[in-house]
Amino acid sequence: MMQLDKIVNNLDLFLGGAWMTVQLTAIALFIGFCIALPCGLARARRVPIISPLINAYVYAFRGTPLLVQLYLVYYGLAQFDIVKDSFAWPVLREAYWCALITFSLNSGAYATEIIRGAVATTPDGEIEAATALGLSRWQVDFLVLIPSALRRALPQYGNEVVFMLHGSVVASVITLQDILGVGRTLNARFYMAYEGILTAAVFYMVLTFALVMLFRWLENKYLKHLALAH
């Protein structure tokens, strides 16, 4: 009953889909992180004016579904002639760029909250010790505070990475050929009910477990000193 040959013969399509998924997720996570580091620090320090603005951004993106955000960017922006006539239109009409922009902003919001939390819970003693050693404010930030906060943010950030990988499936809804996109295309082409999607599920599962293992290894490496303290 299962049409395995259709899957096996098109495995190269799935590998291409996997590359698309990994690429979208990785780039979005990277840009998201670049947004989140300054934003998280500013939030933790309650910088006036900037901090409430960042808070609004984080609240809006964490409080709504990723698919709605993606629709707003991909289908929504075309409503405005200013956007259509602008220099950015060649980018904004491409599904790929819309997905990348939306995912980056989304991941940036979640990561901001994670980094804010990690910075806020930095033991005062660490900062005091660094100051007492005569480090300047910048040195304290970049040599002590940020490395320490990022280490402690690792477990939660690992969750965010898996969350982003899983969230990236909505790219297939706007026609992108990621893992699920390939599965749905094959289903439609060969009139299959579930084989393509089941194969996609296996691909996602393998990627998820690889990420979980990676983060377990990273935590072992960078959080050993905290595990001993307990």
Interacting residues with other proteins (CB under 8 A): 59-60, 62-69, 71-72, 75-80, 165-170, 172-173, 180, 183-184, 187, 193-194, 197-198, 200-201, 204-205, 208-209
Choose between 34 and 72: whose C-beta lies nearer to other proteins: 72
Choose between 71 and 222: whose C-beta lies nearer to other proteins: 71
Q: Least Å distance between CB 82 and other proteins? A: 12
Handedness of CA 194, 197, 199, 202 (dihedral sign): negative
- What distance in Å separates the CA atoms of residue 183 and residue 172, rounded to the nearest whole number? 10
Q: Least Å distance between CB 136 and other proteins? A: 39
Choose between 33 and 110: whose C-beta lies nearer to other proteins: 110
Short-list 149, 179, 151, 139, CA closest to 10? 179
Q: Least Å distance between CB 87 and other proteins? A: 20
Choose between 32 and 37: whose C-beta lies nearer to other proteins: 32
Short-list 41, 31, 60, CA closest to 164? 31
Choose between 112 and 168: whose C-beta lies nearer to other proteins: 168
Estimate the share of the chain in helix, then strand, then coil, as percent rounded to the nearest 5: 85, 0, 15
Q: Least Å distance between CB 124 and other proteins? A: 22
Choose between 108 and 167: whose C-beta lies nearer to other proteins: 167
Q: Least Å distance between CB 215 and other proteins? A: 14
Q: Least Å distance between CB 9 and other proteins? A: 21
Q: What are the CB-based long-range contacts (under 8 Å, 24+) for 11-18? A: 13/177, 13/182, 13/185, 13/186, 14/179, 14/182, 14/183, 14/199, 14/200, 14/203, 16/177, 16/182, 17/177, 17/178, 17/179, 17/180, 17/181, 17/182, 17/183, 17/200, 17/203, 18/179, 18/203, 18/207
